Structure 1
Amino acid sequence: MSYRIILLFSWSGYSQNLVHLGAYTKNTKYSNTYNELYPGATQIIVRSEPSFFWSSQASRKRYLEPAVEALEALGGLVPVSKTAKSALSMDPSPSILVHAFSNGGASQLTTLGEIISSRGIPSSSLPVSALVLDSCPGDGGAEGTILAFSSSVSNPLVRGIIKFLIRFLYFYVSLQRKIFRSSSETVLDKMKARLNEQRVLPWFDKSTPRLYLYSTADKLIPYREIEAHAQRGKQSGFTVTLERFDNSPHVAHAKMHPERYWAAIQRLWDSAAESRSQTADHP
């Protein structure tokens, strides 16, 4: 199988340029390892900003537009200028591995899926694809969310504002649920539900394998929430694999257990290729 595109959604506050293609001025342990494992692939790295969660849909769309343009240029998306008829005659789509870190990366992923789906142009074909969810999704409560969003903020005033807004949001939602018996959903609730949709990205289907990499030692995201999310995916008929670590902090599993971490991802890719091959042989 030809590994063409690796789409990485970083965790909140991760210091990397918005989108990098091919060559890198700042390599990371993840992009370096992907280069070693799949040297023919082009990597698209999307940075996650804490403000993304609270931005308008229009602002989110502008922020992710470079990623959309990169996918179009690489053949992973049909350009909006194409008609549905001409789209179906295009060359087969490249293989795509999607790797999201923490709730910040998962939020970027689900938003990108909504943006692409709204375009209304079908994929030329369903490519070999797979999804990696590292340390997500889940809700660590007000304090866990504060830690996730404020850890990369050095300005004490801004950090204080973030803490106030998050605590107020949790209080407001709790008040609605208790007093008004409302089933109000938080941003995280909506994101988790979207991740368990079959077409979270338009080229996904039920056979697209999903891998959860997580730890019981994660202080930001409760591991049982991740397991519950994976279980709901299994109940929906998705192909789900869990790789649980017991001593690695949030988004630090690759650092502490590199062999297990990358072996799990390689197995995921192999299963994706096998699944798509079986689908092609038995339409």
Structure 2
Amino acid sequence: MGDDDIEYNIVFPEALVSERHWRGSKEPVVILLGWAGCRDKHLVKYSSIYTEQGCITVRYTAPLKTVFISETFGYKELRHTALKLLETLYDYEVENNPIFFHVFSNGGFMLYRYMVELLQRDKQFSTLCVLGTVVDSAPGSGNVKGALRALRTTLGPNINTFLRYLLMALFAVTVVLLRIVLYPMTKYFHKNHYDAMMDRPAPWPQLYLYSRADQVIRYTDVERMVRVLQGKELAVQSFDFATPAHVSLFRDFPEDYSRRCLDFLNSCMTNSEDAKLKRRHVVQH
């Protein structure tokens, strides 16, 4: 399920499960944005964290070409995808439910960047209530070696060896040229996801989960983003799992990972409900 343009999966919880966990409140809609090369069967494992808690889940992974080619050349194809994904909330009539994001690696973060921009600037989506975001193994900036590792893993072992090295060489040259050497000029036409989200970050609470052993996304990039956002007085938390490889936090520490995600979601829901009560109190007086 999706429309003619994008393929996504949406799952609704059983009514009894939702009622048991949310007790009459509208259940959250959790939008999971996969990493480059992620298969839906991988996202299902993460979405089950939320479906078991009575949440609606939407799963989507951007195609490889949009992550590795379109974004590199500054073609904002992912903005159209972001628009379509937000429109699905209206298609399924859940636009009044609280929204929660779970974003993986730069592949998910690049798409998330455009969704944040639309939520902040587009009148159509200004009424959507976003609770918060969990960011897993992202964001990274200017790490050519890490990007090449991600591309090599994504291409897989079955591709012709010569073609693999040719694609990696072309990608490396393009990234270095457009995203490093010429970036002081090209950023005026197309900022990368890292700088864009640092300059105009999401205003809602965020939780960054990462590992200093990650060889694709530098932990220093994640920690720098967290420091900058905290300096802007945003509600930002982080946790370093220390030892897992890239996007392997849940695989290595399933119970701790799940608990942190759900505790954060519940905290965001509580804060949202408290804010609504305060607004009602102000209006009544």
| Band of TM-score, shorter chain | 0.7 to 0.9
Deviation at 1:153, TM superposition (A): 1.2
SS in 1 for 2:134: strand
> Is contact 1:139–1:188 with CA below 8 Å preserved after alignment?
no
Alignment CA distance shift 1:187-1:251 (3 Å): farther
Deviation at 1:62, TM superposition (A): 4.8
2:112 counterpart of 1:109: yes
The match for 1:261 is 257
Which of 49, 60, 84 pairs up with 1:46? 60
The match for 1:160 is 165
> Is contact 1:140–1:222 with CA below 8 Å preserved after alignment?
no
* AA at the equivalent of 1:222: R
Alignment CA distance shift 1:214-1:73 (3 Å): same
The match for 1:73 is 91
> Is contact 1:49–1:104 with CA below 8 Å preserved after alignment?
no
> Is contact 2:119–2:126 with CA below 8 Å preserved after alignment?
no
2:48 counterpart of 1:32: yes
- Segments of 5+ residues of structure 2 without an aligned counterpart are 1-21, 280-285
* AA at the equivalent of 2:46: Y
Between Structure 1 and Structure 2, which shows a larger proportion of helix residues? 2
* AA at the equivalent of 2:267: S
* AA at the equivalent of 2:221: E
* Farther off after superposition, 109-118 or 246-255: 109-118
Deviation at 1:4, TM superposition (A): 3.0
Deviation at 1:128, TM superposition (A): 5.3
Counterparts of 1:254 and 1:187 in 2: how far apart (Å)?
37
% identity of equivalent residues: 21
Instruction: State the TM-score, normalizing by the size of structure 2.
Output: 0.75
- Segments of 5+ residues of structure 1 without an aligned counterpart are 17-24, 78-92
Alignment CA distance shift 1:187-1:160 (3 Å): farther
Counterparts of 1:197 and 1:98 in 2: how far apart (Å)?
20
The match for 1:248 is 244
2:231 counterpart of 1:213: no
Task: Write out per-residue CA displacement over residues 175-234 of structure 1, whole angstroms, 9 at most, x where no aligned residue.
Answer: 447xxxx4654999621133345664xxxx3xx210001001101111111011011110
* AA at the equivalent of 2:116: G
The match for 1:21 is none
Counterparts of 1:112 and 1:159 in 2: how far apart (Å)?
32
Counterparts of 1:241 and 1:26 in 2: how far apart (Å)?
25
> Is contact 1:148–1:220 with CA below 8 Å preserved after alignment?
yes
Alignment CA distance shift 1:256-1:58 (3 Å): closer
Deviation at 1:274, TM superposition (A): 2.7
User: Across the two proteins, how many residue pairs are aligned to each other?
Assistant: 247
> Is contact 2:208–2:238 with CA below 8 Å preserved after alignment?
yes
SS in 2 for 1:48: coil
SS in 2 for 1:129: strand
> Is contact 1:140–1:221 with CA below 8 Å preserved after alignment?
no
